[in-house]
Structures are given as structure tokens and as C-alpha cells.
Amino acid sequence: MRMIHTIDDMRHLVGECRQQGKTIGFVPTMGYLHEGHMSLVRRAKAECDFVVMSIFVNPLQFGPAEDYEQYPRNLDRDANLAKNAGVDAIFVPSVNEMYPQKQLVFVEVEEITNNLCGVSRPGHFRGVATVVAKLLNIVQPDKAFFGQKDAQQVRVIQQMVQDLNMPVEIVPCPIVRESDGLAMSSRNVYLSSEERLQALSIQRALLHAEELFKTGERSATVIEQQIRSIIEAEPLAEVDYIKIVDLQNLTDVSTIEDDSLLAVAVRFGGTRLIDNTILYVKEGQPCFAQ
């Protein structure tokens, strides 16, 4: 596996792959790898000849009071995991390599960033869209793989690629969970054992919501209230949001008449966790993640 630190070297490697007629799959991450990331790699390997993973904690997507400095980092561990998973190259640029001077150009995705994490984390999606646009320009993949855990992020990237005519297919991949149901996240390492135990209420609440939905409940308010009461029964839980939104435009819905996203963000201690499930109304193909 190659470890690449500069944009020039990355472009050179990608050029070689192209000359050999290989398709390129790209898995962007912020590192501290877990099974969720590995599931993206497996999908990329199944669908592409050459797999590039980026590991870059992007300062542009963190707010001033957020955890940019504390974000867990361990390049040796990540490089080993990536190599064992069959990643062909990791792209590990420095902040200076990605932002050598003051960035004056940003990608702003409107409307679908006006809800959910876009409200709690002002500027977050501008930072995400901008760095993903840069990474896509550097790696020039045929396909890029994103986790459904960050459901709003997937929608934002899909919209960016569509509106800016970027020649890449965005592949959403299902949420991977710990055996007890907690969605895998690099931030789970921040949780104390008590916080972690109480965080299981998120998955319990989502499963309860799915059951309600399956038995015919279509009131978003009823489902949201029941989820809230399950999560808030945990003394350490502080709900940021619990929302059912339209799957395409991410606006609030009151009655679930179309495919919808049930998304939650909850803090346990200082750790903000997100999770979600899709409530499909339409028969047939899921339109968001397979």
C-alpha cells in the first residue's frame, strides 16, 4: 500500500492507474478507522480496480467550540488497518498541503443544509462540501463511497456533484453498528462506560420508531415524541434534535407520506452522536442507500 502526502504525488499515481485502464474508488475519511470505514473499503474494492482512502481531519468543517484538536488520530494504526483491508493507497495530506494559503473559494450547498446538523453546526457543510470537492478534484475517482450514518452529508455531496456536474458516482453505504447496536463512530472512544451504555437508547428508540411506522403510524410528531421519551429517560442524554424530514429535500414533515429520514443527534457528556433510519413509504427500490 502506498502512503501519499502530496497532491502532486497523488495526481501522479492516479495518472498511472488511468494509463493502465483501472477504475478508481475513493473512500474519504477523517481516520481513526473502524468497521464502518472498512465496509466502505470493501464496497469500493468490489466495484473498482484501485482503492484510494484519504485520511484528513479537515479544520474547515469544525466550529470554533468543536473537537478539532481532540479528534482522535493514529496514523500508524490506520495505515495498518487500511493495508490489511486491501486499500491500494492512502492520501494523508497535511493541513498546509490542503490549504497552503487562505481559502477564498468555498462550496455552499443551499436549502438541504438548513436543517438537522446544518443548524447545530453552522458552517459545517460548507467545510465538508469544500474539502470533498478538493479531494474529488485531486483523486478524480470513478466512484466515491460515503456512509449513511452521515445521512445529510450524503445528500449534500450528491447535490454538489449533481449541480457542479462532477464526473463521479456517489455510492451511499449502510450504517455499520457495534454488536450491541451503537452506530460505529470514531467519536465513540470519547464515551465513558456509563455514557456508552446510555447511548444504546438511540438505537432502541430508532427500532421502536421503525416498529411504530410498520404498524401504520404516520404522524411525525407522535413518533418523534416517543423517541424523545426513550432517549431522555437516560439521565446523561441531551437531545440536540430528533426529526423526521423528507428524504430528498430534508425539510420537516408532519405526516409521513413520502420516503422520510428519521435523524437524531444526542449528546452524552461532551460527545455528540448522530444516527438515523430511513422510513420507506414507496414500494420498490430504496432511493438513498442500498
Ligand X SMILES: Nc1ncnc2c1ncn2[C@@H]1O[C@H](COP(=O)(O)OP(=O)(O)OP(=O)(O)O)[C@@H](O)[C@H]1O
Q: Any contact of residue 141 with ligand PAF (CB under 6 A)? A: no
| Chain residues 25-64 in contact with ligand X, contact rule CB under 6 A | 29-30, 36-37, 39-40
Tell me whether residue 147 is annotated as binding. Answer: yes
Select the residue interacting with ligand PAF from 131, 161, 206, 264 (CB under 6 A).
Answer: 131
Measured CA to CA in angstroms, residue 46 lies from 12, 25, 163 at distances of 24, 9, 28
Q: What angle do CA 159, 98, 42 make, to 5 degrees?
A: 60
Q: What residue 132 binds from ligand X, ligand BAL, ligand PAF, none (CB within 5 to 8 A, per partner kind)?
A: ligand PAF
Q: Any contact of residue 205 with ligand PAF (CB under 6 A)? A: no
50 Cβ contact partners less than 8 Å away, ≥ 6 residues apart: 17, 22, 23, 24, 25, 88, 89
Q: Which is nearer to ligand PAF, 61 or 113 (CB)?
A: 61
Exposed e or buried b per residue across 207-244, where buried means at least 16 C-beta atoms within 10 angstroms of its C-beta:
ebbeebbeeeebebeebbebbbebbeebebbeebbbbb
- 55 near 76, Cβ under 8 Å? no
Tell me whether residue 225 is annotated as binding. Answer: no
| Chain residues 40-59 in contact with ligand PAF, contact rule CB under 6 A | 58
Q: Which is nearer to ligand X, 155 or 253 (CB)?
A: 155
Q: Any contact of residue 275 with ligand PAF (CB under 6 A)? A: no
Amino acid at 197: L
What residues act catalytically? 37
Binding residues for (R)-pantoate are 61, 153
Give the binding site for ligand PAF (CB under 6 A). 28-30, 58, 61, 128, 131-132, 150, 153
